[in-house]
């Protein structure tokens, strides 16, 4: 077998070995990550939607120094004043595309999905990136 063919086969095998969960599996892992949060934190999650999307705005550009794996949009819990009522839900978005592009194995993907959920929930509680890393 020539070198070029071996190289093509190796790339094909690498693609086949990657963990490729369905959207439903990813959503289940995200729900489990939320359910595994300590009860004192889980009890304070209110008026926040946690959703899974494939790619962040801007698409599949993975050339940034730190790819966007998740995003919290809203008013952190500690900054909500007395006038915070009838507000639209805050939103935590988990981006599965970058996670699946970076990590290969089932264990790595699950670990990163859980870590991203915890990171974004940390923003909901008012922590910044320096405090979360």
Higher per-residue confidence, 10 vs 124: 124
Among left, alpha and beta (phi > 0; psi -120 to 50; other), residue 36 is: alpha
Say whether pLDDT at 36 is over 70: yes
pLDDT tens, position by position, 37-93? 999 999 999 889 999 999 998 766 666 667 899 999 998 988 887 777 777 899 999
The whole model's pTM is what? 0.82
- DSSP letter at 88 equals P
**E-state strands within 1-128:** 48-53, 70-73, 90-95
β-bridge pairing 70-73 and 48-53: unpaired
Side-chain half-sphere CA neighbours of 90 within 13 A: 22
Yes or no: domain 21-132 corresponds to CATH 3.30.2010.20: yes
Locate the domains of the chain by residue range.
21-132
Q: How far apart are CA 112 and CA 39, in angstroms?
A: 21
Token representation of residue 84: 């915070």
């Amino acid at each position: 077998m020539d070198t070029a063919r071996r190289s093509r086969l190796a790339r094909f095998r690498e693609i086949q070995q990657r963990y490729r969960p369905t959207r439903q599996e990813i959503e289940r892992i995200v729900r489990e990550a939320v359910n595994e949060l300590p009860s004192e934190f889980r009890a304070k999650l209110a008026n926040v939607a946690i959703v899974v999307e494939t790619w962040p705005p801007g698409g599949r550009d993975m050339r940034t120094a730190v790819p966007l794996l998740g995003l919290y949009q809203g008013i952190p819990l500690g900054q909500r004043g007395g006038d915070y009522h009838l507000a639209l839900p805050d939103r935590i978005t988990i981006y599965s595309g970058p996670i699946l592009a970076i990590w290969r194995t089932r264990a790595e993907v699950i670990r990163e999905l859980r870590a991203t959920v915890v990171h974004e929930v940390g923003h909901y509680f008012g922590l910044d990136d320096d405090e979360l890393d």
